[in-house]
Structures are given as C-alpha cells and as structure tokens.
Structure 1
Amino acid sequence: MLNYTEFLENKIVVAEKYGVDIYPNQLSEILLGHQGVIVPWCISGGRRAIFASFGLGKTLMQLEIAKQVIRITGKPFLICMPLAVVGEFRRDNEMLQTGHDVVYITDTDEVGELMPQIYVTNYERVRMGDIDAAAFGGVSFDEASIIRNLKTETTNYVLKHFKDVAFRFVATATPTPNDFIEILNYADFLGVIDRGHALTRFFQRDSTKAGHLTLYPHKKEEFWKWVSTWAVFINKPSDLGFDDTGYNLPKMNFHEVEVEIYSPDGYTDDNGQPKLFKKLAKGAKGAQEEKRTSIAERVAKTVEIVKQHPGKRFILWHHREAEREALEKAFKGYNTISVFGSQSNAEKEKHLIDFSEGKYDILITKPQIAGSGCNFQHVCHNMIFVGIDYRFNDFIQAIHRIFRFRQQFECNIWALYTNNETDVLKKLKTKWAQHIELNEEMINLVRNYGLNDSKIAADMKRQLFSKPRMAVVGDATVHNNDTTIVHHDMESNSTGMILTSIPFGDHYEYSDNYNDFGHNHGNEEFFKQMDYLTPELLRTLKPGRIAAIHVKDRIRYSYQNGTSFTTISDFSGQTVSHFEKHGFYLVGKITITTDVVRENNQTYRLTWGEQRKDATKMGVGLPEYVLLFRKAPSTFDNAYAYDPVIKKIDEYLLSLWQLDAHAYWKSSGDRFLSFDELSTMDMKTVFNKWRTYDPATIYNFQEHLRVCEDLAKCDRLSKLFMTIPPISNSEMVWTDINRMNTLNANQANRGKEKHICPLQLDIIERLIYRFTNDGDTVDDPFGGLFSTAYKALDLNRKAVSAELKPEYYDDGLFYLKSKEYKVAAQSLFDLLETA
C-alpha cells in the first residue's frame, strides 16, 4: 500500500511557484520591513495575492513588483485600478524611484509599441476590451473588484484573456466575508487552481437552490491553509514579525441614525388593504424603493449633522443621482465638489486629488466611484452614508478611505437609514462581524506560518485518515476506514455481491481526509484512486457474481467546460470503461428516471423560459443508473457462477419472472381523467390514478401533455416537482422507487446530516434478492449510512461495509443496532407466543 499512501499525499493542494527568486539587495531601500518580505514572496510565486489592510502600502508593493518583473522579463507591466487612483500611483512612484514612468493608457492599439515601463489603466477600459493582455510580462489588479462576481462578462473576459500573462498579481483589502466566489475568482485569475475544481473540493452545494454554496465545515481549515499558500493576509506589520510603530488605527465612532418616515395618508398592503405600518424594506428591490421615497428626509438629516460640526471636512456617500442633486442643492454655498459618472476620467481624477489636498470641504460622490483606492485620511475624518444598501464591500471600502493607518484623528461614520430599513442595516452589520472574524482567522494563520508554504504543506499531511474502527452487528461487519485498505485485507472470493453507490467523481467530498474518493481533481484523478480499489473488489468477489454500481452522469457548467452553455460528462460511460479495464464484464444497465422539475431547481439548466428562448440550449433530465457488472466465472463451460444464485420454484414463480423480465400491459383503450374531473379531485387521487393508468395503456405523449396542460389550467401543476411523471413499463427503468425511502429520510427526521448520494432502499432490496442467495455476504465499499447492510440483514444475508466519514459511520451503526434490536425483540415475542 506504499504507492497508495504516496497517491494520497499527492492530493495535498498548495499553490505552485511560477516565478523566480530575487535577493533582498535588489529591492528598493524605501520599502518597510513587511513590504520587503511580501514583494520577494510574490515574485517567487509569480502569481500571488496581497490581502493587506488599508494603509499598509499596497501601491508601493505593486510598483516594486512591477519594477522587478520588468527587469526579469524585459516586457512592460500593467496595473489595472479603479477610477481616479492614477494620481496615487504617480505620487508613490516618484517616492519609490522605480526608474520607470507611470503611463496611463486607454487602448493598447493607440499606443503602438509598448516600452518596458509601467502602464496603468482603469477597469472601464478592461471591461470594454481595449487592453490587449498579451503585450505585457506581468499584470496586477489593484482593488480587484472587476473579477469579484462570477457571473459577469467582465470576469469571464479577464479570466480568458489574461491567463497567458506570466506574472499575475492581486492587491486588495480583505475579501468580502463569506463571498467565496470572490476568492475563487482571484485564484482562477492567478492560475493557482481551476475554479470548478475548487468549487467541488471545498464547497457543498445546496440541492434545492442553484448557485448557493457554503464551505464544508470540515474543509474550513484546509481551505484557508490552501489560500495562505498563494495569498498573504496582513492587518499590521507585526503579523509578519515587524514593528507596528506608526500603524495604530484611531478610534472609530459609528453612528446609526434612524430617519423616521411616515405617510400622512397611511399605508396599504399588496392587496390595497390599509395597514398601520409600512412594510419593511427587504431585498435589493425593496431597499431601492425605500431610498427613492425618502431622499428629502435623509438629505435634511445630513445637513443637520454637518451643521453640528462646523469647520470639519465631510465625505457624503450616496447611491442615486437624485440624491446627489438634492445634496448639491442643500449644500449650495458650501465649499463642495461632486464627482459623478458622466464626468470624464480626467475630471474625476482632478476633483478627487483636489479634495485629497484639502481644496474642498465636502466631497459628494458614490462608493462605486471613489470608494476604492483613494486616500483621504490626511485631510478628512468624517463621512456620512446618506443611504445604505446591501453591498457590504462598497460600504467597508468607503469607510476605509479615512479609517486607515496614518489617520491622526478619531473617525466619525454616520449611517442613515429609515425606520423601514432595519433589515438592511442588520445585514450590513452581520457581514461586518463576519468580515472581522475572517480577518482574525487568516491573520492567525499568517502568525503561525508566516510566508512558509512548505510548512503549511507539511502540516496538511496530517489529514490522512489514521483512526480506523470496526464493529460487528449481527451478521454485518462494518469499518470506519479507507475502503481500499479494508478490501486489501479481505479474503479472495469471499463476497456474494458488491452493491454500492460510488462517489460521482469529484462531485462531492464527504470527509476532511485525503483518503476521500471525492477529494480528487476531476474524474480522471478519481478513477486513478479507483485503480487501487477496483482490483480488490474483483479479487474479493466470488467468480460469476454481480457488482451493482449506482452512478449518475455529471453536469458540466459553463465555467467548467469553457463554453457559455451546460454540457454533460458521461460519468456512467467512464465507469463502464474503468470496471471493464479491471476485468469486470458489463451485463446490464438499470435506469432510474429522475424528476426533471426537481433537477432544474438544483441546476437552472432545464428552465421552461430558456426552452422557449432557444430549445438548442436545453438538454434533458439526467437519470441514474445501476450498472450490472459480472466477475468471470471460474469456468466458461456453461457460464454459471462457481456458487450460482439459485431460486426455488415455489419462491420464484413464473409470474414473478415475467414481471421481472418484461413487465408490460396492453392498452384497454380507456382514457385518463378529463379537465372537469382533474379540477375537482385532490392531487393524491389524481397521481394514484395516473400511476395505475399510464403503465396499463399504450403510451400516448399527446394524452400525457393534455393531462399536464389541464392541471396547469386549474393551477395544480407544481413548479417544485414533476406532478405527473412517466411511469415505466420495464423492470429496467424503475420509476416506482420511493425517493424518500432511504436512511437519509431518517437522518432528516432526526435532524442529522444527510448522506449526499443515497441509494433507495427499494432498489437495494430488489437487487439483493435478485442476485444473491440466503447467507451470502453483500459488500458495500462506500457504506454511507450502511443502507446496503441494513437491507441485507432484512433478507437473511451477511454484510460487510466500509465508510470513511466518522459521523456517517456512527449514524449507520445506530441504524444497524436498531435493526438488530428489532430482530431480537421479534424473536423473543415469537418465543412467547410459542410458549
């Protein structure tokens, strides 16, 4: 098993190094201690992120990185930044004396031949596709909000066109809390991991809502350690062991100011009925409507606050143009300047620099325009959010225009919200608390490991599984261990059947151990790990017996396959090829149909709306399969198994065989229920009648469609599940399986964690009965909650099963012991009756 251990250790994911090492004496002497270690670490890695707190010198570090990359590659370096930050870079470049000019460009075609110097541009130019990334030896994204959102065309453009740039960097403050897509986009841009791989490796998918991702609890530590191999988080110099002199933040006074809004005419609900209070603003749409109708009151409160602090400079943040116009009118006669979208870039930049140099007392602008990159701490320590919304990143970035290192005064932040926007404020404060928590977690990692990637990787090796357990419950033997190790120690030709639901490639990870088969990068790597297990399955299975493998094909989303549409990965076909490669023979496929409406709710790939827009984008629902493989019998004289599965004539009747072989009912010419009948019956009755009618008649698509349309007309066609599914006539297409008939249902009822890919108990029972004899051992190498062992005991079989995740093992053991108790109790009652 030595090679297997090496295979597992190779799963440890750390960012590779793509750069070159440089010596400290090659750096500018002006760099401070923390800057002097971060820059070489970035150059050595070649593709790194600097998540540094506000005021720690991200601009200086990027300029030094640019200087070094130009020296190494002989090519120009590009820095992309928010609007009006060019002045900051020019000032710092003069101080750093890089020997290169900072040249602002809007279009690489207009410049002609690019010289080996530092070029800067705004994100607007990148969005418009004006910048040819291929011309540069390196690129850095300053305050990289441009690639924060997974769904934007800009993100996809950047990830596609900048991927060939050799040196890539990101420099921004701490990422938005729990916005993991932002972090994954940074990683994808830098080329340290494929976004699809990271999604399946670290995140659990909400099966009821597409796109909703949460970090696996057991993956949290590994995720942040991995991030630390390509991103440095730093709040102050001492996090990296340097002196904090000059880096103490001032006190911040955060003032929550409720602006009361009442209508003299009262309020009504959505149905026009009078209400005592106005409905609270919830969601982006509700917040925008509340803003639109409360401008006058919020502006009046802003004027009141400013008048209470005469002689003080203020930044007034707003979100709507109507708010700006109202503010300009209210502060007419004050020394104010407004910066807004329709101004030219040069005009915006001039106004913001003028404010930063103290030429104006009040700045009126939006967080999206001046909330990133600008340094106002030297001239201002007061700001008012004239309104709030749900965009936390804009909010926190705007605050740190003044609340940053080198600020000499206490900072006062006023957040104005109406009495109907308490939900908005609550959400902002929750994200703020998460933001602080994220900072603390990451800074602790930096303090423990510094910038030592090798130390992190060595520590992550501890996640190989090392605490095996085993239990015997009746005739079932179950293991909490790596299934490959368990099967390596099992006797040859000892099991009567293999029945399991293998992990669907890297679709899910069930545990925090590298032994987890779902803990692989792509199907190819998954089957490499299966290469260690499948020969053991073949060896331990009796000659001529069946391995029933439950699988499902994989959805490949557009960000995974490089297209703009969803495709399908033939995982079932790959499984067939894999098992045949190792000596199994495919003898059958059982198809289990799925509910297309439920599947669409999980994936958004089969929407009715998209079908009407362009039917070519829409595939079909993905069924599940039970693939039937056979181990070659010990002799090919008659192809019977060495230990054949024999059914007695009185227990396996001709009638049952015919139903097994080909269950088919002729049409009687009867029709299904009419619209009038459908509209008056309860849905349970309708479904039961359809379940009887459909298999008993020759299938008629138009009649099926008519029934669905009639149900839709009387508003009884569900959008959550397939109301009237096609009922199979063949035993090879099982649609009568109770989807809730799994141990998962018991898990949900007990408030426990559910197994992701359960095989239904009905299917397990039919397969065990069909392909095994009494007393045979049924092997489930991926035991989960031990459903297979559970049903094997029901059918007077023995069982052996392995499960890696301790929590599943414990829960499965609970179910098996409850089964043992019931069996024992039944035997006792039988004895009492006999007595």
Structure 2
Amino acid sequence: MDYTDFIQSKMTIDASHGLQVPADQLNPALFDFQRDIVHWALAKGRAAIFADCGLGKTLMQLTWSSEVHKATNKPVLILAPLAVASQTAAEGRRFGIPAAVAETPKDIIDGINITNYDKLDQFDTSVFAGVVLDESSILKSFTGKVRTALINAFCRTPYRLACTATPAPNDYMELGNHAEFLGIMTRTEMLSMFFVHDGGETSKWRLKGHAEKGFWHWMAGWAVVLDNPVSLGYQDEGYELPELHMHKIIVDSDTPIQEKLTLTQRRNARKDSLEARCRAAADLVNDSHEQWLVWCDLNAESEELHKLCRMSRQVRGSDKSRYKSSTMLGFAVGVLKCLITKPSIAGFGMNWQNCHNMIFVGLSDSYEQYYQAVRRCWRFGQVHPVNVYIIISAREGCVKENIERKETYAIHMRKQMAELTREAVKNQLSQTRRIFAAYKPTVPMKLPHWAEMEAI
C-alpha cells in the first residue's frame, strides 16, 4: 500500500446510503411490524435487526436485499451458517423472491446470492452493492479472524444489514463489533464514549453511570430489538410461544454440588459421567416414536449417543459440508428421527419447528449457545409444547443456575432496547451515519496586521 492509498483508507466518508422505498411497495407477505422494520432499515442503509427466533428475519432480509438490488442493479450477498443458505433460498421461493445459493464466484447472479461464512474468502466483495449477515452474532469475538475479515471485506459496501436474535447477552463488545461492521462507530470509539474500564481484566467494561441512557438511545438509532411485535406497540399477529417444559436429570445424585468448581474439575466430572448421561438420553429417545434433537459438547458424547440412540445420525465438525447440510435439512423435513450434534455446529439459523423434544447431554457456560439451541424448536410457528431435558452430573455444579442468571440479564437488555426502539421504528428515523464531531465555525477569522502586510 502506497502513501496515497494509506491516506485514502483513513478517510471518513459521510455519505447518504438510505433508500426511500414506499412501504406499500414492499413484499405483501410482510406483517405490519416486519414491513415497518424493513422500511426503516432501507432508509438507514446500514442497520441491525435483533429479532427473536421465528419473527421472520429471513423474509425481512430477503425483502431488504431485493430492494437494494432493484435500486442499484448490482448483486447482493447474504452470508449464512452452514445449511441455512439452502433454507433461505427455499424461503425466497416461497415468497416470490428469487435467490441463488452460491458455492463459488461462478455461481453469482445479478440478484440475491446466498453463501456460507466459510466460503467468504472465495468472493470479490467489491462487486456487491449490499451484504446481509444472517446470525450476525458471529461478530461476537472482537479478536477473531472472522470478525476482522467481515469488517474489512465490507468496509466500503454501501448497504449493510446485520440480523441475529441474541445481541451480546453478557458482553457489550459484540454491540461494538456490530456498530463497527455497519460503519457507525468503531468498537474503540464506543468504549471511550460510553464505558469505563472496570478493574485489571482487559475484557471487563461497564457503562458509565451518566452515559447509560445515552448509550441505549445511540443503539436505538441503528438497531431494532424485538422479542414480540406487541413490545413495539403492534397488534398481536398470533405470535405466541408454546409452553416450554424444562426437565433436569441428575444421573449420579439427587441434587447438584453447590460449591464452585474449576473448569478442569467440571471437565473431569463430565468425562466420568459420560456413559450414564448418554444412556439416560438414549432411554428417552428409544422409548418414543417422535423426533428428538440431542445436543452434546464432546466428540466422545456424540459417538456414544449415536451408538445408543436407534435411528440416529450425528453431525460432527469433521464431516463434509454436503453431508452436514443434507442431514440437517433431512431432519427439518422429518425423514430423520434423531439428530445428534453440537450447538456450535447447528445451533444457529435452522428452523426445526417440526421437532418439539430436545436433550442437552450436559451444558457449557455459553448462554448464547444454549438459548440459540433451544430456539431451534421453541420458536414462533411451533404448534406443540416443547420439552427440554438437561442431563448433567451432580459434580458439574450449578451450571444450569449460571445459565439462568445470564438469561435474566439478557431479558433485561432486550426489554430496555424494545422500549427505546419503539419510537425509532415508528418515526422512520433518518439514515445511519458515522458519528463524529462536526466543525461549525461561528466566529470570523481575522488575519493579524503583519500577515495582511506580507500578503500585500
């Protein structure tokens, strides 16, 4: 990079990227709240939709992409987790929005293109007028190569949309990464403006007391958080979640150990109880004729479950992409009785309302992974009560209680944002801009007398 390119890369461009598309011209399949959110996101040009599972993020991002393509006559790219690309294309056909799954650059069409995140490095991102991050919580890790690659790859893409259900339930860093991806404010700028460093740990930041209200209003300018249309003042469109029945099974005691265990101690406890936990899960699956979704964290758990659970298939990280995709889509259409996999592999994006029974053969401390895994089945559109079984060892400690504590915090954040974004959506806020301090001189500048003489 020469000096001219370096200076060019540092320039702050305050350009308008919003599209004024009449709301009544958007896809008629959209509900009122979906139409208003898409209209708002198009007017912003760069925005985030944090809508709960089953609220129609796929239709909203397809409609947004379609309008960007119509306005620019350039292709748009949707990045999605594994197997979700084909599901998104099928959703597009259902609502009359053509979209193509692109495995290689040769597959790119002049329209909406969908590909998996792991294929991003194969594409020239400069040809796209717009980009959508489906399950944008992939930006969570501020040190991750994926996060950096996404921000750099689309830093000059005019139109950007980020969609996920769980924005930073216990970590503000992810919100900063979303703002940076959208070109609103860098993560560093966000931290310096609204946060103070808390103690000696580099990752611990807390909101400044006087800045809390300003922070939520700032977020409401570029993000919509929605757990139910009613929370934004819309009429109930039939979005009611079915009952969720939680069952905890402790395989080696009646009550969990209350003392705080180290990570090593918990891992050892999981290994020691592996066979008992897998056997308890297999008993549930084999005694039923219904579909079952079984979540695990260890490869050894996956192998043991597959051996014990009849009519099951496992999806592992080492499997080929084509096998992963076909197996998960097969489970979605009901041709597979039992799917065994990890939340890190299949916990994001898939719509599995066809299944209402799931098992966690142990839990990690990640609330996001747990929440997303549960919401694959417990989502709007599910017609049956959902049964969730958590099978753990007493020696693993109070891991379930830790997840519940994080869940309480996440619900609090969503409620705050829903309150602040209600008027933002209804008033159709102006386009999102990168925040900076504009210089507006009001006092005329006068040259000193000696300078005037030299000029003469």
TM-score using structure 2 length: 0.87
Q: Distance in 1 between matches of 2:73 and 2:125?
A: 15
Q: Distance in 2 between matches of 1:244 and 1:121?
A: 34
Instruction: Say whether the 8 Å CA contact 2:140–2:147 is kept in structure 1.
Output: yes
Deviations 1:669-701 (A, max 9, x none): xxxxxxxxxxxxxxxxxxxxxxxxxxxxxxxxx
Instruction: Say whether the 8 Å CA contact 1:19–1:43 is kept in structure 2.
Output: yes
Query: More displaced, 429-438 or 217-226?
Result: 217-226
RMSD between aligned residues: 2.7
Q: Distance in 2 between matches of 1:453 and 1:336?
A: 49
Where does residue 320 of structure 1 map in the other structure? 298
Where does residue 828 of structure 1 map in the other structure? none
SS of the residue aligned with 1:50? strand
Q: Does 1:394 align with 2:369?
A: yes
Instruction: Say whether the 8 Å CA contact 1:147–1:155 is kept in structure 2.
Output: yes
Instruction: Say whether the 8 Å CA contact 2:69–2:76 is kept in structure 1.
Output: yes
Quote the offset at 1:343 in angstroms. 2.1
Quote the offset at 1:367 in angstroms. 0.7
Where does residue 821 of structure 1 map in the other structure? none
Q: 1:203 aligns with which of 174, 195, 201?
A: 195
Where does residue 442 of structure 1 map in the other structure? 417
Query: More displaced, 61-70 or 252-261?
Result: 252-261
SS of the residue aligned with 1:151? coil
Where does residue 220 of structure 1 map in the other structure? 212
Q: Does 1:288 align with 2:267?
A: yes
Deviations 1:760-791 (A, max 9, x none): xxxxxxxxxxxxxxxxxxxxxxxxxxxxxxxx
Q: Distance in 2 between matches of 1:150 and 1:371?
A: 21
Deviations 1:285-310 (A, max 9, x none): 444333233211211221233356x2
Where does residue 101 of structure 2 map in the other structure? 103
Report 1:465-504 matches (<5 A).
Answer: none
Q: Does 1:118 align with 2:118?
A: no
Q: 2:228 aligns with which of 236, 239, 245?
A: 236
Where does residue 365 of structure 1 map in the other structure? 341
Q: Which amino acid aligns with 1:321?
A: N
Where does residue 383 of structure 2 map in the other structure? 408
Q: Distance in 1 between matches of 2:429 and 2:290?
A: 51
Q: Distance in 2 between matches of 1:246 and 1:453?
A: 25
Structure 1 residues 257 and 79, CA gap change in structure 2 (3 angstroms): same
Where does residue 605 of structure 1 map in the other structure? none
Deviations 1:192-240 (A, max 9, x none): 1122110111111024222211122332221111111101111222234
Report 1:33-112 matches (<5 A).
Answer: 33-98=32-97, 100-105=98-103, 107-108=104-105, 111=106
Q: Does 1:350 align with 2:348?
A: no
Where does residue 143 of structure 2 map in the other structure? 151
Q: Which amino acid aligns with 2:273?
A: S
Quote the offset at 1:453 in angstroms. 6.3
Instruction: Say whether the 8 Å CA contact 2:37–2:425 is kept in structure 1.
Output: no
Instruction: Say whether the 8 Å CA contact 2:137–2:167 is kept in structure 1.
Output: no
SS of the residue aligned with 2:122? coil
Q: Distance in 2 between matches of 1:252 and 1:369?
A: 23
Q: 2:359 aligns with which of 384, 405, 419?
A: 384
Instruction: Say whether the 8 Å CA contact 1:86–1:120 is kept in structure 2.
Output: yes
Instruction: With a CA cutoff of 8 Å and minimum separation of 6, indicate the structure with the bigger relative contact order.
Output: 2
Instruction: Say whether the 8 Å CA contact 2:232–2:419 is kept in structure 1.
Output: no
Quote the offset at 1:48 in angstroms. 0.5
Where does residue 315 of structure 2 map in the other structure? 339
Q: Distance in 2 between matches of 1:83 and 1:72?
A: 29
Unaligned runs of 5+ in 1: 1-14, 263-276, 458-520, 533-835
Q: Distance in 2 between matches of 1:306 and 1:454?
A: 50
Where does residue 299 of structure 1 map in the other structure? 278
Instruction: Say whether the 8 Å CA contact 2:77–2:115 is kept in structure 1.
Output: yes
Higher Cα radius of gyration: 1
Q: Distance in 2 between matches of 1:96 and 1:70?
A: 17
Q: 1:139 aligns with which of 128, 131, 138?
A: 131
Deviations 1:2-26 (A, max 9, x none): xxxxxxxxxxxxx996212111233
Where does residue 169 of structure 2 map in the other structure? 177
Structure 1 residues 16 and 234, CA gap change in structure 2 (3 angstroms): farther
Report 1:291-690 matches (<5 A).
Answer: 291-307=270-286, 310-331=288-309, 334-377=310-353, 379-452=354-427
Q: Which amino acid aligns with 1:315?
A: L
Unaligned runs of 5+ in 2: 1-13, 443-456
Quote the offset at 1:372 in angstroms. 0.7
SS of the residue aligned with 2:395? coil
Q: Distance in 2 between matches of 1:453 and 1:243?
A: 19
Structure 1 residues 137 and 385, CA gap change in structure 2 (3 angstroms): same
Q: Distance in 1 between matches of 2:118 and 2:90?
A: 22
Quote the offset at 1:32 in angstroms. 1.6
Instruction: Say whether the 8 Å CA contact 1:229–1:453 is kept in structure 2.
Output: no
Q: Distance in 2 between matches of 1:413 and 1:115?
A: 42
Instruction: Say whether the 8 Å CA contact 2:258–2:397 is kept in structure 1.
Output: no
Quote the offset at 1:280 in angstroms. 4.9
Where does residue 666 of structure 1 map in the other structure? none
Q: Distance in 2 between matches of 1:278 and 1:380?
A: 34
Instruction: Say whether the 8 Å CA contact 2:89–2:114 is kept in structure 1.
Output: no
Quote the offset at 1:421 in angstroms. 1.8
Instruction: Say whether the 8 Å CA contact 1:89–1:102 is kept in structure 2.
Output: no
Instruction: Say whether the 8 Å CA contact 1:261–1:297 is kept in structure 2.
Output: no
Q: Does 1:247 align with 2:239?
A: yes
How many residues are treated as equivalent by the alignment?
424
Q: Distance in 1 between matches of 2:412 and 2:233?
A: 21
Structure 1 residues 178 and 353, CA gap change in structure 2 (3 angstroms): same
Structure 1 residues 28 and 453, CA gap change in structure 2 (3 angstroms): closer
Structure 1 residues 242 and 211, CA gap change in structure 2 (3 angstroms): closer
Instruction: Say whether the 8 Å CA contact 1:281–1:424 is kept in structure 2.
Output: no
Deviations 1:571-595 (A, max 9, x none): xxxxxxxxxxxxxxxxxxxxxxxxx
Quote the offset at 1:146 in angstroms. 2.3
Deviations 1:682-724 (A, max 9, x none): xxxxxxxxxxxxxxxxxxxxxxxxxxxxxxxxxxxxxxxxxxx
Instruction: Say whether the 8 Å CA contact 1:280–1:421 is kept in structure 2.
Output: no
Deviations 1:162-194 (A, max 9, x none): 111110110110313131111110110001112
Quote the offset at 1:282 in angstroms. 3.0
Q: Distance in 2 between matches of 1:371 and 1:160?
A: 26
Where does residue 451 of structure 2 map in the other structure? none
SS of the residue aligned with 2:131? strand
Q: Distance in 2 between matches of 1:239 and 1:55?
A: 15
